[in-house]
Structure formats: C-alpha cells, structure tokens
Structure 1
Amino acid sequence: MSSPETLNPTRRANKIFTKTFLINPKAVVNQTSEFKYRWYIPITYKTNKGPKNGVTWFPNNQESVTLTLGEGEKWLKINNNQVGYYRVDYTADMWQNLIQELKSRSEQLTISDRAHLLNDIFALAESEIVPYAVALDLSTYLNVESDFVPWEAATSVFSTLSERLTNTPAHGYLEKYVQSLVEPLYKKQSWEKTSMSVINGLLRARVLSLSTSYGLPDAETKVRSLFLAWLNERSNQTVIETDLRDFVYYYEEDVQEQSKIRSALCAPRDVNILRRYLELAWDENNIRSQDYLNVLSSISSNPNGTELVWNNVRENWPKLVERFTLNSRYLGSLIPSITDSFNTDQRLKEMEQLFAQYPEAGAGESSRLRALETVRNNIKWAATHQDVVSAWLEEAVNPQKA
C-alpha cells in the first residue's frame, strides 16, 4: 500500500484497528490486486511507566490486536520516536491525557514523540478523523516546548494554517496565537552570535524567524534595526550572520544574496510598493528574465500581493507566453504557485475562465489540473474547518469574549 496506515487503539478496551490513511476522506482506495495486500505493522508503545520492550506485530491477516495496560498505567503512546510508517488516532479521553502529559513536560515523551504527536493530530484533523479543536488544543503545550524538532513540526503546521487562513480575519488571530506560544522561548534567545551546539543554533534561528514572521513586536523591531544597520554601515563591514540573514532581509554579491534580497522586496504590506516592484521587475535591467517568475511567486505569497499578482498574470498572459513560451515548465508551474492559497468559488471561476480563454497550456497542462484540484480542496477545507478554526483561535487570543 502506498499510504500509511491509521491505528486507533482504544475504541473498545485496548484493541487496535487499522485502516488506510487518506488525507482526503472522500478519496477511494482502488485495490487492484486480487490478493488484497496488507502491511505487517510493527507496534511499539510506551505508557506513563515507560516504554515497553520489544515489538508487537499487527499481522496482515487479523482485524485487530489487543494491548493490555498494567496497574497504574494511565495512558499509552504508540509508535515510539515515530519510527513506524503509520499514524495513530486515539479516543477523545486518551488525546486529552496525552495533551496533559505534554503540558506537564512528561519525561516519557521524547523529542521525537512530541513532534510525532503534532504531525499526527494535525494530519488526522485535516482528514476529518480528529476534530480540529482537539488538534489546536494539543498545540497549546508549545509554550513549554524548548526543543528544535517539535518546533520544526509546529512551524510546518502553522505554515499550512497560515496559508489556509490567508486574507481572512482568522489569520490575525493565528498570528497572535503563535506569538503567545513562541514568546517564552523567544525571551531566552540572543540576537548576538554566541558559541552553541548545532542543534541549539537551529533552534535559535527557528525561534527568531518564527517570532518575526508571526509579528512578535520585539522581534520585528530587532530585525528592522539589524537590517538598517547593515544597509547604512556596509562600508564598515557590518554583517548579518548567516543563520539570520534570510528573515532579516525578508522582514524589513553573490547570486544567493541577490535571491534573498529579491525575496525581501516582496515583504511590504503596502500594496502600492508591491505594485511598483511588480512593474520594475518586468524590466530585465532590474530583474533577470530567469528570475522574474520567482518574483511573481514571492509577491503572491505575501497576502497583500496575492490578488495583485493574480490580476497582473490574467491581464498579461499573452505577454508572458511571448516572453517565456508555452514550452517553459517554469511558466507552467507559475499558476499553481500563485493560486495555491485560493479558497473561494469566485477564484476558482476566474481560473476556469482564464484556462478557457487560453486553452493552449503546453508544458503547463498538468500544472493547471493540479492548481484546480488544490483550489477545490482549499474550498472544501474552508467549508469544513474554517469556522471552527477561526472560533478556536479567536477565543484563544480573546478569552474574555468567550
């Protein structure tokens, strides 16, 4: 099977059942083989008393296996250190037990376990197996998290939510919520380069970047001052350290540096500035032709630039084809890049109208189909989850309104 399994360990007693995990709950698994192949699944687990030795095998010819907890064992967490290729769902009370263990900084849940729980619960929420509110409840533990790997998993989760909520009131709630989670750890970081291990260096860069990208005021102020110091004192060899350079450039002469600065120019929230950059970028004296499409994608990734770029591309599609040709796979990949946050029927209709007006897609044929599928999935996500997520985030940042 190409998809991982989903295990549900306690629907009845401590029995574990399995089914194929599908991110789209409406998708259908086409079992083409008459043999109906299934995995042998290696089950490892731990409880509040510690990890269990050995592996319990879930045979491919059985419908369930049973795990028996001993005296004093109040919870279990399956798939130690996320080694097995499967996701795990739990009953509602067991999820709440695990959330409490995370909040209490349980020594039994390793760094990998904590990242695994974040990965699993948000994937399960996406596929409508677990309520999104429960997944968000679990993320509240992050204000006591201090290790890189779980924060890397959390960054991916929040990035997906940020894209889903682009240009909605809930996006502002998400920013404030992430600020509240990362601020305790942010206060322990230094903006000055110090000697530290590689993993602590990664954690520092991740925390400072996340704090800046979600608008923590102190982080924004510090980034602005670093950037202006670099801009005004380059003759004095003012240098922004490598670990911080990407987001310091972004939130405020080599090819890599030029790429970072081009990306930084896409960050302003002022649409007029973005429009001016878009106009200047068309001129090859300012932006090389091979970099122009990347500039379009970067501007569109800014919520304030998404509509600007989309309208520009629709109005100038013949010029783009003339410049890059329909055989360009880079031009073909532009459409999915600038439409991947669309989540309304109106935007879908505009895409369909554009494709009908210019039916010749060349190397972009599959990209068009992929873009349409993405937007339809986004529309479905918004209809299914957006109200719940928005309400949860609003309550989290404005509890007095609850």
Structure 2
Amino acid sequence: MKKKKRRFFVNERLNPNTTPLNYDLFFEPDFKKLAFKGFEKIKINIKKKTKKITLHSKNLKIKKASVEGLKLKIKNFKKQEVVVLYSNTFLTGVVELEISFEGKTGDLKGLYKSDYLNKGEKEQLLTTQFEAADARSAFPCFDEPAFKATFNLSVLISENLEAISNTEIKKTELKKGKKLVIFNQTPVMPTYLLYLGVGKFEFIESSVNGVKVRVYTTPGKLKLAKLPLEYAKKSLAFFEDYFKIKYQLPKLDLIALPDFPAGAMENWGAITFREASFLCDENTPLANKQNSAMIIAHEISHQWFGDLVTMKWWDDLWLNESFATFASYKAVEKIKPEWKFNLHYLLDVVDQGLTADALISTHPVSVKVKTVGEIEEIFDAISYEKGSSVLRMFEDFMGEEAFRQSLHDYLKTHSYSNATQKHLWLSMKKIAGERGLQFNVKMIEEWVNKPGYPVVKVKKSENGFTLTQNRFTLLQDKKDSWSIPIHYQTVEGEGFITLEKNGFIQTTGSWVKLNLNQAGFYRVFYDSASLEELGVLIKKKFLKPVDAWGVENDLFASVRSGRVKLENYLNFIERFCDNVSYPLTDSILSHLSWLLLMARSKVEKTVTSFSLKTLDSIGWRAAPNEDSVNKLLRSKALTLLGLTGNWRAARLAENLFMKLKQKKKIDSNLKNFAIYIKTWFKGDFSELTLMYENELNPVDKIKFLTALGMFNDRKKLLKALAYSESSKVKHQDSFRIPLTVSSNPTGRKLLWPWVRKNWARLKKRNQPGTHFLGDYVAMLGTLDTYKELKELKKFFKNNDRDDIKRTIKETLERVECNAKFKKLNSLN
C-alpha cells in the first residue's frame, strides 16, 4: 500500500529535530524597485535523519537551494508561510544549506522602506521589523524564538549610504561604486531580534562602562538626540548594576525612525524607535520626555529579558514584556527621582492592568497561542501591565533584594538560551529557600495562569472586619478565589495575612485599609461605614498618597461595574478628595473625563468644580521650581475644564495657540491643552492641517495631527476622518485622528458609521502583522447603547480576522459594560 503523503498544516511548529546553528546572510537592496536579493548559508544540525528541511518563508521567491552541493527540490506552502526543501538522499548531522532568494519590501514589517524629508527633499531608508514572525518575509529561516543561532550579516549598498546592524562593522569593501558592509558575528539569538538599517544616518556617541552608546537619526535631527542619549546611558548603567550582569555587546545603538509600527523594538544591540516617541530636548513637554525615558529603559532592559534570555515560545511572552515594563519604571525612578515614577506606575501600569483584566473576555498572563494572529494580539495590557503588576506583588511578597537576586539567578542560569516560567519559579524558590522564606509555587502560578483577579469585600463586624472574595468583572461577579497575600493597616498598625476564600481581621478600631502601598493585584470594596472612615483619613492626609489613590480607584471600579451608584462616587470625591495629591488628583481627573463622555448632564458641574479647585491649588500658570506632577495636572485640568465650556480656559487656549502660530515660546506642557481646546471652540480645519504639514518637530507634528479629531463640529470631524487616510498622513499615524474622535463628546457617535462604511478599505490597508486594524476595533469601545452593541455583533460576525478576534470580543464587552452603566444610572 502506498504511504499517504503527509500534509503540512497551517500554523504547525517547525520540526525540533532540525535546528540552525549559524546564518551567513547577504542582502542587496534595490531602493528604486523596493526589492531585494539575498543569499544565505545556514549551518544546521539534523538530529534525526530526514529527506526534507522545512523553513519559514513568506512572500519570497526561492531561486535555488542546495545542501552540501546537492540540489534540493523546492516546494512553497504560501498559506502556511513555509518552504519545504526535498533531498534525494537522507540527511543527518551538521550540514550547510545554501539558498538564494528575492523579495519585495513590506509595509512596516519585514524589510520595509521609511520616507522622510531632508532639506525639503523626499528621501528613503530601509529598515527591519521582525517581531513576532516577519523575519520570514526577509529571508528563509527558522522563525521561532527557540531556534537561536548566530548571524553573520553582510549588505551591498551605495557608497553614500550607511548600514547599521546588531554588531559593529567588521570591514567595508568597495565594489564598482558600491560598498559591501560586513558585520561581526552576533551572539546566539532568535530571528526576530536580527536588525538591518540602510540609509543616510547621523549619530552622536558616548560610552558607559566600556560600551559605545550611539543615537542615530535621519539628517537634521541630532539636536533632539542628546537627551535620549543621556537617558540611554543612565538606563544601561542602572541595569548592569540591578541585574549584576554586564551588557553583552561592545556597542548599543538607538535608531530613530520616521516610520515604525510600534513604539520601539529591542533588537539586540540595535534598538529601533518611532522618532515621535523617542526624540526630545529640554523644550519638549514633560509628558513626552517621560515617555521617551520610559520607552528607552523598557527596550534596554530587554537586552537582558528577551535578548540574553528568550522565552521558549510566545505563550511566555510575558517573561519578556512584563519584566521590561516592571524594570523600566525602576530605572526611570532611579534616573529621575523628581518625576516620582513610582507613583506614575500606579496610573500607567497597575490601573491599566486592572482595567483590562476586568473583562470576562480577558486571558491569562501566560496564554496558549498557535497562530501568528493570536501571537500579535497578546502584545496587550495583560502581557505588559498586568504581568508587571503581578511581578511587583511577588517583589513585595519576597522582599526587594531577594526578588532582585532571583532575577539575577534566572538570567545567569539561562543566558544565551530559552526559558519558561517554570525556570523563573525555580530561581525564586532557590533564593527564597536560601533566605529562609516560604515560596509557594502553586500560589504564585495561579496569578499568571488564571484569567482575571479577585475583589476582596470588607464588612465591619463586632471585633473587626470580615473578608470575602470572588472574581471581579465589570459585568457580573464570578465565583472564584485566589490565595491573596494581603498587607493591611488598622489603628494598631500594619499586619499581613494570606486570604483563601474568606478571612477576618481583628481590631478595636473603626477602620482598616487593605492592600497597603497598593502592592497587590486585586480590588477592595468596603462597606459604606468603612468607606466613610477611609474618606475622613484621606481628607486628613493620614493615608499615604498611594493608598488614598487605591481607595478612590477601587470605588470608581465599583461604580463602573454597577455595584455603587454614580452619585455616591461624586459625593465621595467632593467631600474627601479636594486636597491636591498625586496620583489621587490625576486619577479623579481621568475618571471625570470618562464620566463627561458617558454622563455629561450628571457630572458637568462636578467636573467644573473639581478642575477649578485643582487649578486654584496648583496655579493656572507654572511656578518656578514647581513639583513636576503639577505640570501634568495643570494640562489635564485645563483641558477638562475647557471641554465643559469654561470661558477662562477657552480664552487661555486661544491666546496660547496664537503664540504657537506666531512661533512664540509658550509653556511646552500646555501645548496639548492649547491646540485641543482652541480646536474644540474655534477650530479651523485648513489652519490646523497646514500647521501639521509644515511642522518639522516630530513630537509637535503628532500634536497637531491628533487635534484634528477635536472639532466640535460633525462636518469638520468627517473631513478630518477622511484626511486621516490621505497621503498626507503616515500609515503608522492614520489611527490617531479616529482615536481622538472616539473620545470626543461630539464625535464619538460618528466613528462607528465611518468604520463600518470604510471597513473593507481599512482591512485591506492594515494587514496582519501590525496592530492597526485592532486599534480601529478597540476605538469603538466608547459606544454605550444596547442598539449599537447589537449592530456591532451583527457586523463583526462576518467581518472578523484571525488577528482581531480577541479585540472584537473585548470591544463588544466594553460596549455592553458602558450600556449597563448608563442603564443602572438612568442615563439613557
């Protein structure tokens, strides 16, 4: 009987018995044709004899392939993104595979072009973005994180261009008007970390502990590179000290790109950034400088978590991203203590994680993924912010030094290799044991392997407080429980318990504050009497700022989930939260902004009153040497006040905008406010688009573009939405106007009909491999009626795609939550 030929299934993993050892890889890009030719020699180890070799290949034309001089038969499986090479004889052991190939440049993925202006002239550069699965669109390869290998890269380019890769240039050879740039061999690493950039670059350079640190920009932007260089140097020094492991390469390049699909990418030794998120100087608004420092620290921490030690498969993406998020805030707190990044962490990370994980449609931090689309979708607030928050809880449980030593042990043990979460638990257990600490792996694992998180309900009883728990979601309570390490405070002092299903805290006092320092990843709902007691403590500033924030933030979550009426929340902040304190005041301003969108008639008076009190306390204009958080609060309060129609805020915005237009200097921290509120009150479409198109500073350029979604006029907003898809706007930035419209009180109801009408075009333009189509879906999460929910369900039933399935579920649930909130608070 003839043996049935085995099919190769879509998303099937590659054969682990055939592994790469080294890629000798050559590229010859063609700027005019937006194409490239390539040739590679891959040294592979075949552990079990076979007649076929399977590699990933996407949109590449394989010209020829051979192994040890023997020609191979080539068969492409386009849907599966693989190429299978067949031999007439069995292959085994270490062999050398040779492949010549051709390809076309991609759109913000693989090897792609980036356009920019140099002295008014349009120029191009070529750059790469391979994470998660796009190295295969640049060269045939074993495109999975477990297949680590070394790379010897060379590229043939015009003499007037420069090339950048992960390692230093070994040598350059001139060849008939071109030059062959040959790079040193890389460390062992996965394909997604390989980098190649070709174009006209300028750079500034310094060094840290013997490591060259350079910032590359396109021509004319070096003045915006000095501050990022300082952030990079200090971050690198911090992580070498924190991890107690030296950075492993002789150089670290940071490359600012005009076109980039994400904020940044941690290619080993050659980190890439979207220039608008990265470049800055002393005149840049504080929020943008902070964002730059944080992104730089995040990517540099990846040089250890992700690059030196890589997750075995994307299930454990969180081992890369949660740690980078956690570590980046530690670094910035050390580098710029005056910024109070330990407090920013609560707003940027903990709150974002809690909000995302409050959906029934959430996923565990460690989640099973198979398809490329599924992989792309887990680059989200669960893998980043929730995972980071859980790590912070582990740190609080173990102690800061024991936790840090665990990370050192994990990195040292698995350097140049792959790891899973079990390896991390082993390091934690080892260090805990050495210090005489208990370490319950089962308890730790449930925070990573289970979706969601608990809410602890506190009820006053005769001799203390009764505690119960269940899983918190915005739609309904779910029966579930966790082992929760609870740090608490009463009149007697601090205490610690591990809560299983329920528990009791004994005290003679009338109050208890759970989740001290907000170190735990859970919410706390207090009964009305306990909440009243805590409110008094907030007003008296008895509670620490972090704990005051925790009480308010959990209360708002109870309002959003329908467990507490809106009026109760408004009454609480009016009575107890009028003293300006960070992060409490910032949190309330954010919550009032959301309420202004959902319940304008009920909250407008409170929004106006709270914003005015905040501004009267910190001042309408910046004071010399003022606290950095006041600069952020001022802009936020002014913008919110402007949206209520306050004449004073409107006049200030108009005056500042006029100075901007006249190229006069203003408080840079008020640029957003000035542009947004001027547009809201008296926006001129032609004026704003002209300012956007003529602006050369990448940070300010984005501010003008984003403001086009702020018109208080439906016709202008529709015009702005059309403009977002025009050639005037970079593909990577086309989502920004719709995103602003989604939170515009006048415009958010326009977005859904516009997305529905333009869906086919949006879907075609935003192919899998970028997050952009999912962004358009997520923006619809500000809708708030059951009628809209029904329309969305019907539409997406036949208009989904593999890389947006999870986003659709989450968006539908958010809309249902909004509709429920409005119904419960009689807002329809």
TM-score normalised by L of structure 1 = 0.78
- Paired position in structure 1 for 2:764: 322
> For 1:256, which of 688, 691, 699 is the aligned residue?
699
Task: Classify 1:279/1:115 alpha carbon distance in 2 versus 1 (closer, same or farther; 3 Å).
Answer: same
- Paired position in structure 2 for 1:267: 710
> For 2:755, which of 313, 327, 333 is the aligned residue?
313
Match of 2:467, SS state, is strand
Q: Distance in 2 between matches of 1:203 and 1:311?
A: 34
Per-residue CA shift, 1:176-211, capped at 9, x if unaligned?
211112212313413256332324434434433443
Task: Classify 1:361/1:26 alpha carbon distance in 2 versus 1 (closer, same or farther; 3 Å).
Answer: same
- Paired position in structure 1 for 2:737: 295
Per-residue CA shift, 1:332-391, capped at 9, x if unaligned?
331121x111122221232233224x435242232222222222222222222x32xx59
Q: Distance in 2 between matches of 1:172 and 1:133?
A: 12
- Paired position in structure 2 for 1:156: 590
> For 2:725, which of 274, 282, 289 is the aligned residue?
282
> For 1:15, which of 465, 480, 489 is the aligned residue?
465
Task: Classify 1:142/1:213 alpha carbon distance in 2 versus 1 (closer, same or farther; 3 Å).
Answer: farther
How many residue pairs end up in the alignment? Answer: 360
Contact kept? 1:7, 1:86, Cα under 8 Å: no
- Paired position in structure 1 for 2:607: 178
> Which of the pair is proportionally richer in helix?
1
> For 1:230, which of 628, 636, 660 is the aligned residue?
660
Give the deviation of 1:327 after TM superposition: 5.8
- The residue type paired with residue 114 of structure 1 is A
Q: Distance in 2 between matches of 1:21 and 1:362?
A: 28
- Paired position in structure 2 for 1:240: 666
Q: Distance in 2 between matches of 1:123 and 1:22?
A: 10
- Paired position in structure 2 for 1:400: none
Query: Which shifted more, 375-384 or 209-218?
Result: 209-218
Task: Classify 1:122/1:323 alpha carbon distance in 2 versus 1 (closer, same or farther; 3 Å).
Answer: closer
Q: Distance in 2 between matches of 1:206 and 1:316?
A: 33
RMSD: 2.9
> For 1:375, which of 808, 815, 820 is the aligned residue?
815
Name the structure, 1 or 2, with higher relative contact order (CA <8 Å, separation 6+): 1
- The residue type paired with residue 230 of structure 1 is L
Question: Which residues of 2 match residues 343-382 of structure 1 at below 5 A?
Answer: 343-356=784-797, 358-359=798-799, 361-382=801-822
> For 2:527, which of 88, 91, 105 is the aligned residue?
91
Match of 1:89, SS state, is strand
Q: Distance in 1 between matches of 2:521 and 2:553?
A: 12
- The residue type paired with residue 295 of structure 1 is I
- The residue type paired with residue 26 of structure 1 is Q
- The residue type paired with residue 334 of structure 1 is Y
Per-residue CA shift, 1:73-116, capped at 9, x if unaligned?
554444444344443333323333433454xx314233233222
> For 2:489, which of 32, 44, 47 is the aligned residue?
44
> For 1:221, which of 651, 654, 668 is the aligned residue?
651
Contact kept? 2:713, 2:746, Cα under 8 Å: yes
Q: Distance in 2 between matches of 1:7 and 1:67?
A: 15
Query: Could you list the runs of 5+ residues in structure 1 that have no partner in the other structure?
Result: 32-36, 47-51, 392-402
- Paired position in structure 2 for 1:119: 553
Give the deviation of 1:16 after TM superposition: 2.2
Task: Classify 1:320/1:16 alpha carbon distance in 2 versus 1 (closer, same or farther; 3 Å).
Answer: same
Q: Distance in 1 between matches of 2:764 and 2:629?
A: 48
The yes-or-no answer on 1:82 pairing with 2:518 is: yes
- Paired position in structure 1 for 2:782: 341
Contact kept? 1:125, 1:131, Cα under 8 Å: yes
Q: Distance in 2 between matches of 1:202 and 1:30?
A: 39
Match of 2:487, SS state, is strand
Query: Which shifted more, 321-330 or 300-309?
Result: 321-330
Give the deviation of 1:311 after TM superposition: 1.6
Give the deviation of 1:19 after TM superposition: 0.7
> Which of the pair is proportionally richer in strand?
2
Contact kept? 1:58, 1:65, Cα under 8 Å: no
Query: Could you list the runs of 5+ residues in structure 2 that have no partner in the other structure?
Result: 1-445, 448-452, 679-695
Give the deviation of 1:246 after TM superposition: 1.9
